[in-house]
Structure 1
């Protein structure tokens, strides 16, 4: 086995994890784009703007994961993560589904951090940065789910 083949074999698990992250983020692009098309009512414009921003950010996250995959000598997946159409388009339902999606993404980044900790500073920093970003997203969605004036963390589904 050549040195390059040996290095790639050592990265197989990390590459698979990064591909899973990329697929999940691409699903986020589709999910947030769909949500933005299904918002109606007086507050539509700021909500669709926020949702489209989330779609753009998910695409940027997919790009980062894909770049790391190729950096490690891997091949980015053409797959997309699971998409669930609940047919619930109330903004509260959309936000609760978003909170679930952000939680799943956060777990993928935490799993990656466990895998690369002490092995690659580059991948550790990437995972930590993404964990920070996903935790901020969760907090933002959580605040959006609260009733006006309610400072308590939203905990119900």
Structure 2
């Protein structure tokens, strides 16, 4: 395995750990939402958990195709004990921005692997759109 492949695999393992953490995070958020707008917000958080699972699966498949072994670790999810919707959305945005930066970091190491580059660019697009959506949800000046 080439040195650069080892670096990419290590970084992608950080991504899979973050994405699995996102599954746990969004499931927790969905369970903790209360109030009159609960149903659509819970649905949205469940969708985010499923997206995290899909991203982790995709990244894991790529890790194995590069000759690596997907990590079994999960990035710790802090329990802030703050379960108000706007606070949860702020936490979500911070988490998603960190994941976006990690995807961009991996992109800087792909070399000539066009398939991996395209995969990462698609993930970056999806994460950017997610961050944009959360920012819109946080804009309460409507």
Determine if the TM-score, normalized by the shorter chain, exceeds 0.5. Answer: yes
Task: Please give the TM-score of this superposition, normalised by the length of structure 2.
Answer: 0.96
**Deviation sequence 1:61-92 (CA, Å, 0-9, x none):** 00011000000011111100121111110000
2:4·2:109 contact (CA, 8 Å) conserved in 1? no
Matching residue within 76, 86, 100 for 2:94? 100
Give the drift of 1:123.
Answer: 1.1
Give the drift of 1:11.
Answer: 1.1
Paired residue secondary structure (1:115):
coil
How many correspondences in the alignment?
142
Task: Please give the TM-score of this superposition, normalised by the length of structure 1.
Answer: 0.87
Q: Which ranges in structure 2 are unaligned for 5 or more consecutive residues?
A: none
With CA pairs under 8 Å and 6+ residues apart, which has the higher RCO, 1 or 2? Answer: 2
Asked if residue 55 in structure 1 is aligned to residue 49 in structure 2, the reply is yes
Asked if residue 136 in structure 1 is aligned to residue 136 in structure 2, the reply is no
Matching residue within 111, 114, 133 for 2:105? 111
